[in-house]
C-alpha cells in the first residue's frame, strides 16, 4: 500500500490537483498550451536528440550482447526519417481537432424551468503505460492536454533518457500556460507503476498498451478501471458467396500490409465449398507474398490436390499442417492459420470463441449473410469485403488515436479523443423557489415530470 510520503503518491496527488485546477480553464487555453509545447520541443531539439542518442547507444550495447532485438533501435531513433517532424505536426493536428469536452449528448426539461444536460467532460488522471517508442510521450501528452485529462506516462525503459528530456520540455512549456505544469508527468520504473496502481483515490483510468499479458497483469493488480490495448487476433472469413477477386485482395492486404500490427489478420476461415475454387487462388497469392500457411486437414489436402503447380513459389516450403495452438496465436508475422468451416454459423462460432474480439471480416456478395455476420460476430470491428487493416483511428476519421481498445466498456476499437472523456449531469432550476422532489409524485396536487427534450449542443450558462 502506497503511503502519502511515497514518491508515487506525491506524483499522483500532484496530477489530481493539476486536473482539478484545470477544470475552470477555457478550452482555448488548452489549445494554446499545445502550441507552447510544440514551440518548446523545437527549442529543446538538440537536448532531446542528445538524450535519444544516449538511449540508442545504451540499447546498442544490449543488442550487441544479444539481450535486445536489433529492431528496437530503429523504433527508439527519434531522428529517423521524418519522425521528429511528424511528431511535432501531431501536436498541432491534435490542437486543431474539435474539443471533445462540453458537448451535450442529452438534454431534457424535467419540469418548467428545470433543465437537465448530460455534458462531456474529462475523466481525470490517466496512467498510460506503453512500449518503447519515445515519440508516444508527445502523442499521449497532446491527447491528454486536449481532452482536459492530467496524465502520468510510463514508456519503455529503453527510452528513459529521451522520455525524461521530452517530459522536461513539456513541463517547461506548460509552466508558461494556464495549465498546471504537473499536468503531464513521466515515471521510469515498474515499481512506480505498481505503487500508482494502488492509488485509486487519485488515478481514474489506466491505459496499458502492449501484450495481453501486460494488460491482464495490470487488471490483476488494481481497483482502477483499465482500458486495455492488447492483442489483435483478427480473422477473415471467406463465405460461400465470396467474390474471388475481393477474396484475394482482402486476405492478402489483411495479412501482409503490416503483419506486426494488431489489426493484421492471423486466421483465415474458408467455407468448404470454396476449397477447390477460391482457396487455391488465395493461397497462391499469399505464397507469392512469402506468407507461411498453417492449414487444417481439409484446406491442406485441397491445396495438394489443386491445380496449383507444386513448382509455384514457396509451395514446397511455406505450407504446413496447423499445430493445435495455431488458432489462438497472434503471429504478428507473415504466418496465417487456415481453417475450413462448413457454414456461416460455424465461422461465427469459431470467431467468437477464438478471436480477440478486435476486428473480423467477411468476404461475401450476400447482403443477408453480411448482415448476419456483422451482428453475430461479437467484435469491436465487423467488416464486409474490407481489409482488417482499416481498424485504425486515423482511417476511421478520428484524426489520431490513443490506441485500439480490446475492452468492451467505455471505448471499444480505435480510441480517439472521444474515448478520453466521460460525462456529467448538470441540472439547473430557474424556478422562483428552486426545485425540490417533494413536490412531485402521484398524489393530489403533486407535479408530474415533463421530460421534454431540449435542443442544446452546450450547457447554456
Nearer to its own copies, 60 or 385 (CB): 385
Nearer to its own copies, 98 or 321 (CB): 98
Among the listed ranges 89-97, 153-161, 335-343, 437-445, the one in contact with its own copies (CB under 8 A) is: 437-445
Q: Does 250 bind its own copies (CB under 8 A)?
A: yes
Pick from 63, 292, 352, 456 the residue near its own copies by CB under 8 A.
352
Q: Does 300 bind its own copies (CB under 8 A)?
A: no
User: Where do the H-state alpha helices sit in 70-113?
Assistant: 71-76, 83-96
Residues linked to residue 20 through DSSP beta bridges, in sequence order: none
Positive or negative: CA dihedral 7, 13, 17, 22: positive
Among the listed ranges 46-54, 171-179, 283-291, 419-427, the one in contact with its own copies (CB under 8 A) is: 419-427
Which residue bears the cell 507503476?
A: 193
Pick from 134, 210, 232, 407 the residue near its own copies by CB under 8 A.
407
Q: Does 285 bind its own copies (CB under 8 A)?
A: no
Residues within window 372-391 making contact with its own copies, judged by CB under 8 A: 372, 374-376, 378-387, 389-391
Pick from 3, 4, 220, 310 the residue near its own copies by CB under 8 A.
220
DSSP 122: E
Pick from 81, 309, 324, 397 the residue near its own copies by CB under 8 A.
397
Q: In 3-state terms, what secondary structure has residue 427?
A: strand
Among the listed ranges 4-12, 200-208, 289-297, 316-324, the one in contact with its own copies (CB under 8 A) is: 200-208
At a CB cut-off of 8 Å and minimum separation 6, what does 224 contact? 127, 197, 200, 203, 204, 205, 206
Q: Does 255 bind its own copies (CB under 8 A)?
A: no
Q: Does 223 bind its own copies (CB under 8 A)?
A: yes
Which residue bears the cell 491534435?
A: 94
Pick from 123, 164, 268, 302 the residue near its own copies by CB under 8 A.
123
Residues within window 33-62 making contact with its own copies, judged by CB under 8 A: none
Q: Which residues of 196-324 form beta strands (DSSP E)?
A: 205-208, 234-238, 265-271, 292-295, 319-321
Residues within window 304-323 making contact with its own copies, judged by CB under 8 A: none
Question: Rounded distance, CA 228 to CA 129, Å?
Answer: 10
Cell output for 268: 483465415
Nearer to its own copies, 77 or 253 (CB): 253
CB of residue 66 vs its own copies: minimum separation in angstroms? 34
Nearer to its own copies, 65 or 436 (CB): 436
Contact at 8 Å (CB) between 232 and 404? yes
Q: Does 232 bind its own copies (CB under 8 A)?
A: no
Pick from 409, 443, 445, 455 the residue near its own copies by CB under 8 A.
409
Euclidean distance between the first and the last CA atom of the chain, given in angstroms as a whole number? 42
Residues within window 62-121 making contact with its own copies, judged by CB under 8 A: 108, 110, 114, 116, 121
DSSP 401: -
With vertex at residue 4, the alpha carbon angle to CA 225 and CA 216, rounded to the nearest 5 degrees, is: 25
Residues linked to residue 186 through DSSP beta bridges, in sequence order: 153
Q: Does 429 bind its own copies (CB under 8 A)?
A: yes
Burial of 178: CB neighbours in 10 Å, binned 0-12, 13-18, 19+: middle
- Give the number of other Cβ atoms within 10 Å of residue 461's Cβ: 8
Among the listed ranges 88-96, 269-277, 316-324, 365-373, the one in contact with its own copies (CB under 8 A) is: 365-373
Contact at 8 Å (CB) between 259 and 332? yes
CB of residue 15 vs its own copies: minimum separation in angstroms? 13
CB of residue 187 vs its own copies: minimum separation in angstroms? 22
Amino acid at each position: 500500500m502506497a503511503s502519502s510520503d511515497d514518491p508515487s503518491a506525491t506524483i499522483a496527488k500532484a496530477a489530481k490537483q493539476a486536473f482539478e485546477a484545470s477544470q475552470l480553464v477555457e478550452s482555448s487555453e488548452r489549445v494554446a498550451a499545445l502550441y507552447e509545447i510544440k514551440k518548446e520541443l523545437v527549442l529543446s531539439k538538440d537536448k532531446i536528440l542528445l538524450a535519444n542518442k544516449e538511449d540508442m547507444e545504451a540499447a546498442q550495447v544490449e543488442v550487441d550482447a544479444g539481450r535486445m532485438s536489433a529492431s528496437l533501435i530503429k523504433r527508439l531513433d527519434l531522428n529517423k526519417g521524418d519522425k521528429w517532424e511528424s511528431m511535432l505536426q501531431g501536436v498541432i493536428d491534435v490542437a486543431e481537432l474539435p474539443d471533445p469536452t462540453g458537448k451535450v449528448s442529452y438534454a431534457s426539461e424535467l419540469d418548467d424551468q428545470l433543465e437537465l444536460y448530460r455534458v462531456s467532460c474529462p475523466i481525470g488522471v490517466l496512467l498510460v503505460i506503453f512500449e518503447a517508442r519515445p515519440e508516444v510521450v508527445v502523442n499521449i501528452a497532446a491527447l491528454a492536454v486536449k481532452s482536459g485529462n492530467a496524465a502520468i506516462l510510463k514508456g519503455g525503459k529503453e527510452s528513459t533518457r529521451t522520455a525524461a528530456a521530452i517530459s522536461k520540455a513539456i513541463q517547461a512549456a506548460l509552466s508558461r500556460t494556464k495549465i498546471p505544469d504537473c499536468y503531464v508527468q513521466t515515471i521510469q520504473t515498474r515499481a512506480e507503476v505498481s505503487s500508482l496502481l494502488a492509488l485509486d483515490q487519485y488515478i481514474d483510468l489506466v491505459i496499458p498498451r502492449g501484450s495481453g499479458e501486460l494488460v491482464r497483469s495490470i487488471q490483476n493488480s488494481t481497483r482502477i478501471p483499465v482500458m486495455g490495448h492488447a492483442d489483435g487476433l483478427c480473422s477473415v472469413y471467406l463465405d460461400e458467396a465470396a467474390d474471388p477477386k475481393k477474396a484475394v485482395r482482402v486476405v492478402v492486404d489483411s495479412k501482409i500490409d503490416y503483419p506486426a500490427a494488431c489489426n493484421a489478420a492471423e486466421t483465415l476461415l474458408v467455407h468448404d465449398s470454396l476449397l477447390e475454387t477460391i482457396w487455391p487462388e488465395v493461397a497462391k497469392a499469399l505464397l507469392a507474398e512469402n506468407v507461411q500457411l498453417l492449414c487444417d486437414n481439409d484446406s491442406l489436402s485441397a491445396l495438394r490436390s489443386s491445380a496449383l503447380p507444386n513448382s509455384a513459389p514457396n509451395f514446397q516450403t511455406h505450407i504446413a499442417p496447423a499445430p493445435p495452438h495455431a488458432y489462438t496465436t497472434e503471429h504478428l508475422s507473415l504466418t496465417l492459420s487456415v481453417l475450413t468451416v462448413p457454414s456461416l454459423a460455424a465461422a461465427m462460432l469459431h470467431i467468437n470463441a477464438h478471436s480477440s474480439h478486435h476486428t473480423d471480416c467477411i468476404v461475401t456478395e450476400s447482403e443477408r449473410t453480411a448482415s448476419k455476420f456483422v451482428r453475430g460476430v461479437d467484435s469491436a470491428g465487423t467488416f464486409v469485403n474490407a481489409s482488417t487493416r482499416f481498424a485504425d483511428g486515423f482511417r476511421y476519421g478520428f484524426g489520431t488515436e490513443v490506441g485500439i481498445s480490446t475492452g468492451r466498456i467505455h471505448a471499444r476499437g480505435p480510441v480517439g479523443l472521444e474515448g478520453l472523456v466521460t460525462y456529467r449531469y448538470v441540472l439547473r432550476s430557474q424556478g422562483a423557489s428552486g426545485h425540490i422532489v417533494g413536490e412531485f409524485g402521484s398524489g393530489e396536487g403533486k407535479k408530474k415530470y415533463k421530460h421534454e427534450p431540449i435542443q442544446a449542443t452546450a450547457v447554456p450558462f
